[in-house]
Structure 1
Amino acid sequence: MRTSFVAMSYNKLSPKSHIYPSNSPPVAFIVQGELPRLLTETKTSHHFLHTYTIQMTEMSTESFDFIVVGGGTAGIALAARLSEVAHQKVLVLEAGADHSDDPRVRTPAFYSALFGTDADWGFRTIAQEQLGGRSISLNQGKALGGSSVINAHVFAPQAYTVIDEYARFGNVGWDWDTIAPYYTKAITVLDTPEEHRQLLGVDGCSPTDLGKGGPVQLSYPGDPWHPIRKIWAETFDRKGWRMAGNPWVNASVGGFSNLASIDPVKRERCHAAKAYYEPIRQRENLHVILNAHVTKIIFSDGEPQPKAIGVQYSHEGQTKIASAGKEIIISAGALQSPKLLELSGIGNAEILRRNGIEVVKDLPGVGENLQDHLVCDITFAAEDKIGDTLDALARQEPKAMEEAMGNFIQKHEGILTSSGILTYAYLPVMDFLQDPGRQNLVKMTTDSLSRSSSTPEEIRAGKYLEIATRTLLDPGRPSAAYLTAIGQNPVALDPATGEPIPPQPGKHLTIAVILAQPLSRGTVHIVSNDPAEKPEIDPRYLSHYLDVEVFARNVMFIESLAKSAPLSDVLKQPLQPSTPLARMTDLDAAKRYMQSRAISMWHPAGTCAMLPEDIRGVVDDHLRVHGISNLRVVDASVVPLLPPGNLQSTIYALAERAADLIKEAHRLP
């Protein structure tokens, strides 16, 4: 089967083509439903509003050299790199559709309007005990381009200290010096004029330090003159926490303006399919089949160890098989790669037998070690001088909506050109930098580290605790990431009512904090042998006592930031948080607030971890599944330790690194 996908204007349709318009219903977030609906449904001859995906299919019986299961952020990038070798046939099987021409995908401010649509897998956790029994949404992209199609665009730099920890786990070739070039290989950042760099608070950076030839187009989102950028930079500068240099070269602690995967010219989302696939979609050796659900990996008989030779998948109501001469690479994401391994007989033997699945390889680490970033925020009433915010759009004010649409469509500018997240910061826990907080931390971690570890899970947990201890005791390493969003957050629940806070009058600024390196570990496992059934997801948020202590202190620090000049000058004084429970007087109040307010940043990782098998790893340092031939995993599930900020940049670097590893293994140019 060979399938190609071509984006065409409505007046160029072939009579033999099948048309798949983007017409799924929008969902509300920062910008609520009416504006995305209007932009989606507006009838005009403008190409932006009237494009479709065309599917043309021709039958073929040939096999492939490589099969990539999942055309998401990592999968489509990896496939593009592998297909650079013209004589290698690459097949991508993607469960979702191509949503590249959906206005809600292309418009940065509308990212959350895709939640709950057919571009979103719509996962939810089981009830989380430490979050008040709440079930948490885990929005993951079901589309060509994966979660890069529905994320909030933030392209956060990695901390070199985290990558070096990958190597300390025994992963040869995963130190910062080796991996850093892959971060910049994936991206292109236009030179920023000197006067803009000062406003952005990045004047200490050299433009030559950033990527220039990569497919992912990055920019500083929104208006470069927005006051919050300079205010944020000056606030951190006065406290001595401004990022000293370029965070992309040597990220440590401090505040900076964040990059985003938004095209600097068109001001539209630049996702993985747009960046990696669209320029080479006519490549003859690259085959992409959409709406194809892989249900099982096929292994050969009579081999000394199991050898992956093909996959079974459903497409257009039929069960089909594709074979791979060289390798099968699973890139289905942290919540579905372990599911596919288990359905194929790779995983904890007890779980497999319980679900009636024949054991191919007993690999207990599959689906374990789930880690995710929690985020907790406080929204403050702001003065008018804060500049443009998304608040009027959240209230669906007609004049503001009309102006925003016009500016974006006609001029490629205005409030719709960002998700609202313009600034970022990496910080340590301030309470732990000096006594008595430091002594308290040393006591908490020493008591845990001194306990004997006998099981593989305990040994692995001990290694993670050692990393956390080094991070928390080092003032130059971040334990949290902070960000600002120019507007209110009507999604996270009001701790006082358990319901979202209705859009409020006036302007607002939201300050949020991310628990950078959680110690809490969860699981994702199948609940039956039915491929159509979603896995059970249990992140066990805040189940580790140290996460509770670290996160609560960081949440309390939000108010300290809000009271710091000049940031305090653009917030109404005394501070007016959107909910009374955000006025935290002590650590216990902070814990209660975060347990009822925190939600996921949608960064699940680690469920097929790149760790030694004897401590419940799933892949080795070449991303090969332990004990299986011709099978790798390349996606967020292999990440052994979360970066301090958003995961997107790390996934692109991972895909670029994996492509080189695979080419080297098969001696491909």
Structure 2
Amino acid sequence: MSSTEHYDFIIIGGGTAGLVVASRLSEDPSQHVLVLEAGADGTEDPRVKTPAFFEALKNTEADWGFKTNSQPTLNGRTIAMNQGKVLGGSSALNALVFVPPTKGLVNSWESLGNKGWNWETLSSYFNKAYTSPIVDESSRTMLGIDKWASVNSSAKGPIQASFPGGVAHPIRQAWAETFTNMGYYMQDDPFSNPSVGSFSCLASIHPETKERSYSTSAYYNPVKGRENLHVLTNAEVVKILFEQTGGSAKATGVQYKHNGETVTVNTAKEVILAAGALQSPKILELSGVGNPDLLDKYGIDVVVNLPAVGENLHDHAVCSISFEAVDEVDTLDALARQEPEALSQALQEYAASKTGPLSYVGVTSYAYLPIVDYLTPEGQVRLKDLLDKNRPPEIEGIRNARDRAYYEVVENSLLDPNEPSGAYLSVASQSVLPADPETDSPQGPVPGKFITIGAMLSQPLSRGTVHIQSSDPSHAPSIDPEYLTNPVDMDVLANHMLHIDAIANTPPMSKLLKQPLNRRDPASRLTDLESAKRYLRASMISMWHMAGTCVMLPKEKGGVLGEDLKVYGVRNLRIVDSSALPMISTANTQATVYAFAERAADLIKQAWGMKVSNCPQSPDIPRQRHLV
């Protein structure tokens, strides 16, 4: 490829969002689209295709292998930040959970200042992204969905979803009936009416092949023969190129490395950055867009003064408790212990019929909940006192304006019994978490069968950063999520951890667990808020749901992008990935990123006068003139 070659659109990152946008823009044969992906094509890699092998991809050539800075609130631990460095990005590496955010969370995007970004608009893009599985009527009770008043039959998109694992596994029905008994069963398919309550979750596993369905297999491979779509793998971007005229900047191309050579390619229309929450801010800063003090430190010329780049990093903190299961329950513990006989049998079963323990990762059920103890009169007093003590002061400054805007959203959610502050999940296996080495907590898989119940913090207030620490593009960024540094976050997640025992002790869930409850880790016997906080400091991990580092917000609130996804102060440059999300999804992010990217593709098409189909248009987004 020569430096004189032009494309209409250059997409940096062939991941979850990048391949969605590439597929949609290249639907118009007159538009020439280039995708630059740093990793290789793993389409035929069994570790990508086989659901239960996703763990085998971590810390390999398919993983960026990032780690956070030391986290003082977590006993000084560093946290693994596994992110896909492979065609398909993290959609090729994740645990395949496919769940939506709640309506209230998506509506908060608009309340933060992003006009048109609400559930009413975005819901149709979820439907455009995935296909809802057809379920036999006789299986609905075993799946725990027989009480759904509505089923989302409108979803007809590329990602093929299914209810993972064997239909007959008792955990789904027990989970549904347990939360019904607790008064928290979600009455509708969560993709049609996402709210508070439990539900059987989907996975991005093809219902027929039982293989991973992800952006490469679902969006790219079916259209890879298009002459106007060029996807280049093993191409690591160095920087975005700009032209500065009349005091403004315009993105004109991209410089990248491929096969040991540095190559320049130009764009006639736009550069679209889709490298993820950790890489997109890094590329912006290497290109001269960011905080001038940081750029000057590393000898990078400032193109656009935009200090919010790399700020606002937030992620789902998660922790769990593993309980010993009764002997009759099938679990994945033998695989977790890598027992040769169990692995051999699982391989044979998957090869023969695409069934068995390799066909899923053990996650089948979710619940979005408020803190039940906060709903009592006494709990409301404690909650309001907690919120008042930690309210950001009303002082000048963009960061403070951002923090106050987010605080208002989270406060309203915490005070609303119909909005969740935590997401719970079940796993048919033990969870091996970090443990305090000074305790008798086990450091690896132990004998026995286990069911794990986890809780994640849905709407964290703690905000961290990701920034370059060198002008060398090959150097990893400095990642500091500042987990649970906001006292509200620590208190809320600790309260959710305390609720796990109530779930485990409520029938019929309790009937799947040995009585009295036997915990894999003695330290997970939580008796009060302080013991829960101590457990979190030792054992909390990341759900790898990083977001917000190039956030779509008004500039005066610390935004990097406008509601049209254009970078402030730059023409012809947009960002389309989780870094742009104003607030992280209620739980796992992949479904949200697919929907976000689908809408982004339509916004870009409309701006350039291209045909938009199947979803509502947004007439308030102005059209641009075509560039020659």
Give yes or no for TM over 0.5.
yes
Match of 1:469 in 2: 411
What aligned pairs does 1:215-614 form with structure 2 within 5 A after superposition? 215-385=158-328, 387-449=329-391, 451-493=393-435, 497=439, 501-614=443-556
Query: Shift in Å at residue 496 of structure 1?
Result: 5.0
Query: Shift in Å at residue 249 of structure 1?
Result: 1.5
Match of 2:92 in 1: 149
Note the alpha carbon deviations across 1:410-456, whole angstroms, 9 max, x for none. 10111111111011110001121112111111122234448323211
User: For 1:660, which of 587, 602, 606 is the aligned residue?
Assistant: 602
Unaligned runs of 5+ in 2: 612-628
Q: Distance in 1 between matches of 2:560 and 2:543?
A: 24
Q: Distance in 2 between matches of 1:245 and 1:232?
A: 16
Q: Distance in 1 between matches of 2:545 and 2:389?
A: 30
Query: Shift in Å at residue 497 of structure 1?
Result: 4.4
Question: In the alignment, residue 241 of structure 2 is paired with which amino acid?
Answer: I
Q: Distance in 2 between matches of 1:581 and 1:417?
A: 32
Query: Shift in Å at residue 502 of structure 1?
Result: 2.7
User: For 2:588, which of 646, 649, 652 is the aligned residue?
Assistant: 646
Question: In the alignment, residue 374 of structure 1 is paired with which amino acid?
Answer: A
Matched, 1:627 2:581: no
Match of 1:45 in 2: none
Query: Shift in Å at residue 409 of structure 1?
Result: 0.9
Match of 2:559 in 1: 617
Q: Which TM-score applies when normalising by structure 1?
A: 0.89
Helix, strand or coil: the match of 1:288? strand
Q: Distance in 2 between matches of 1:450 and 1:62?
A: 51
Change in Cα spacing, 1:272 to 1:500, as seen in structure 2 (3 Å) is farther
Note the alpha carbon deviations across 1:535-556, whole angstroms, 9 max, x for none. 1000000110100110100011
Match of 2:6 in 1: 63
Change in Cα spacing, 1:427 to 1:603, as seen in structure 2 (3 Å) is same
Does the CA-based 8 Å contact 2:440-2:522 persist in structure 1? no
Query: Shift in Å at residue 212 of structure 1?
Result: 3.9
Note the alpha carbon deviations across 1:286-322, whole angstroms, 9 max, x for none. 0011100111111114244100000110100000001
Query: Shift in Å at residue 500 of structure 1?
Result: 6.0
Q: Distance in 2 between matches of 1:192 and 1:481?
A: 25
Q: Distance in 2 between matches of 1:151 and 1:206?
A: 31
Question: In the alignment, residue 68 of structure 2 is paired with which amino acid?
Answer: T
Does the CA-based 8 Å contact 1:495-1:596 persist in structure 2? no
Query: Shift in Å at residue 166 of structure 1?
Result: 0.5
Question: In the alignment, residue 274 of structure 2 is paired with which amino acid?
Answer: S
Query: Shift in Å at residue 208 of structure 1?
Result: 5.4
Query: Shift in Å at residue 252 of structure 1?
Result: 1.1
Change in Cα spacing, 1:500 to 1:302, as seen in structure 2 (3 Å) is farther
- What RMSD over aligned residues (CA atoms) do the two structures have, in Å? 1.5
Match of 1:73 in 2: 16
Does the CA-based 8 Å contact 1:221-1:418 persist in structure 2? yes
Question: In the alignment, residue 258 of structure 2 is paired with which amino acid?
Answer: H
Note the alpha carbon deviations across 1:439-476, whole angstroms, 9 max, x for none. 11112223444832321111110111111111111111
Query: Shift in Å at residue 586 of structure 1?
Result: 1.2
Question: In the alignment, residue 96 of structure 1 is paired with which amino acid?
Answer: G
Note the alpha carbon deviations across 1:141-195, whole angstroms, 9 max, x for none. 0011000001000001110101111011111110111111001110012211112
Query: Shift in Å at residue 652 of structure 1?
Result: 0.1
Q: Distance in 2 between matches of 1:592 and 1:267?
A: 40
Note the alpha carbon deviations across 1:362-383, whole angstroms, 9 max, x for none. 1011000000001101111110
Query: Shift in Å at residue 559 of structure 1?
Result: 1.1
Query: Could you tell which deviates more after superposition, 561-570 or 81-90?
Result: 561-570
Change in Cα spacing, 1:309 to 1:420, as seen in structure 2 (3 Å) is same
Q: Distance in 2 between matches of 1:265 and 1:498?
A: 44
Does the CA-based 8 Å contact 1:200-1:256 persist in structure 2? no
Question: In the alignment, residue 340 of structure 1 is paired with which amino acid?
Answer: I
What count of residue pairs does the alignment treat as equivalent?
A: 611
Does the CA-based 8 Å contact 1:363-1:616 persist in structure 2? no
Question: In the alignment, residue 450 of structure 2 is paired with which amino acid?
Answer: H
Query: Shift in Å at residue 398 of structure 1?
Result: 3.2
Q: Distance in 1 between matches of 2:460 and 2:417?
A: 18
Does the CA-based 8 Å contact 1:420-1:486 persist in structure 2? yes
Query: Shift in Å at residue 403 of structure 1?
Result: 1.8
Helix, strand or coil: the match of 2:262? strand
Match of 1:108 in 2: 51
Does the CA-based 8 Å contact 2:524-2:535 persist in structure 1? yes
Change in Cα spacing, 1:449 to 1:493, as seen in structure 2 (3 Å) is closer
Question: In the alignment, residue 277 of structure 2 is paired with which amino acid?
Answer: A
User: For 2:37, which of 90, 94, 99 is the aligned residue?
Assistant: 94
Does the CA-based 8 Å contact 1:496-1:579 persist in structure 2? no
Unaligned runs of 5+ in 1: 2-58
Query: Shift in Å at residue 642 of structure 1?
Result: 1.0
Question: In the alignment, residue 227 of structure 2 is paired with which amino acid?
Answer: E
Q: Distance in 2 between matches of 1:208 and 1:393?
A: 34
Q: Distance in 2 between matches of 1:101 and 1:206?
A: 40
Question: In the alignment, residue 435 of structure 1 is paired with which amino acid?
Answer: P
Query: Shift in Å at residue 644 of structure 1?
Result: 1.1
Note the alpha carbon deviations across 1:539-576, whole angstroms, 9 max, x for none. 00011010011010001111111111111111111111
Does the CA-based 8 Å contact 1:191-1:207 persist in structure 2? no
Helix, strand or coil: the match of 2:192? helix
Matched, 1:183 2:140: no
Match of 1:132 in 2: 75
Query: Shift in Å at residue 199 of structure 1?
Result: 1.3
Percent pairwise identity: 49
Question: In the alignment, residue 535 of structure 2 is paired with which amino acid?
Answer: Y
Query: Shift in Å at residue 283 of structure 1?
Result: 0.5
Does the CA-based 8 Å contact 1:422-1:484 persist in structure 2? yes
Helix, strand or coil: the match of 2:28? coil
Q: Distance in 2 between matches of 1:66 and 1:112?
A: 34
